[in-house]
A and B are shown apart, each in its own frame.
Chain A
């Protein structure tokens, strides 16, 4: 066969190899691999006693392996995000994405229709829109975080190297975390205060308001409206479940998979109720009866609304973080179970 005029399978192989190599390595490496192929063909030709042909070339190339395989060892290891940055990258994702997701859910949910009295179909349309917006923003945030870390990886030479052993100090080791360990004091305090809230809002709802001693005379101004009253069954359910969860955890003496799922349910319920309270915050209380004490009721209510929205927002974020933590612990337990058995 004519190997000068006709494109051979080796030429095609070398072209494919060339395409996979960076420009600075291309010429030298392709020449080297070509030389090696020719040597291998010469050797085989001598052994078989015939001139190299297409079949022989194919057999030699098969021994060499695919262009991707032959090129791989020549290429330096490349990372979009290297081992030195990866743990920080994961940490940032774990913190940023749940917070962004919860904030987006809250913001879109509030922004959809602040007025009460929507139909069921409107409610579900708004809900789907809210979820779609949240998903879109979370994906964008993920992409941006990856981009920032990829730029850091590319721009800062320090991140390209594995940390040297001499830089490491054994004293820098973190204490072993005990995610199953419970904090009895916190749980008991939560039970006590939740129980008090449950009693007050269910049995003394009408006594919640502003008390004032004027010239030795006690006056009382109720502030909670009937709109707030509609939340009492939901709040009571949340508080009963919270107390039940705390009692279960105290009884077991440690967090378990079942109580973690229970905690996720309670946190999700808390997010739902808090988001709904945020949407209707203006209707839940009134300061009209306090006109005698404060002149600028409008400004006061506006400030109070903002304060309550921030407080509820914080409560939502804390619950979202708790859900993420609980899910991570459940996954960790599932992954570590086969090893511990």
Chain B
């Protein structure tokens, strides 16, 4: 029960950084699975049920663009950060750095 609570708290904390993490990895075209692998290699495990709806949402918000492409007779949807996303990303990074400093001060 206690472990479950800790896991839920960690999950909640991670959820807050997923948007920034995904946007930061979409400077180059990525399809869903490659993006998931890329995030996993960098230490952020994210399941399909979270990633794909998030990509859709970011696309709806105009921060990502997507297009379907056929590769080996298989359709794949590629995502790329949009110009609007490129403008917002540095601001989000700056905000993240501020938050990290703030938390470091708090936890000292």
A residues sitting closer than 8 Å to B (CB atoms) are: 31-33, 35-36, 38-40, 43, 64-65, 69-70, 72-74
Contacts and interface: CB of A to CB of B under 8 A. Distances in A.
Contacts of A69: 49
B15 interface: no
A38 B50 contact: no
B10 to A, nearest CB: 19
A88 B77 CA distance: 45
Contacts, number: 43
Range for the number of chain B residues in contact with chain A: 10 to 19
B33 A70 contact: no
- In terms of DSSP, what is the predominant structure of the interface of chain B? helix
Contact of B74 (A38, A40, A64, A70): A38
With most chain A CB atoms within 10 A of its CB, the pick from B49, B68, B77 is B49
A39 B33 CA distance: 6
Nearest to A34: B75
Interface of B: 31-34, 37, 47-50, 52-53, 56, 68, 74-77
A73 B47 CA distance: 11
A40 B52 CA distance: 14
A131 B36 CA distance: 61
Nearest to B51: A36
B77 to A, nearest CB: 6
B52 A32 contact: yes
Given A35-B77, A43-B37, A73-B50, 10 more contacts: A31-B68, A31-B75, A33-B52, A36-B32, A39-B76, A65-B47, A70-B49, A72-B49, A74-B52, A74-B56
Contacts of B47: 65
A65 B76 contact: no
A38 B37 CA distance: 14
Nearest to A65: B49
A35 B36 CA distance: 13
B15 to A, nearest CB: 12
Given A43-B33, A74-B53, A74-B56, A35 B48 contact: no
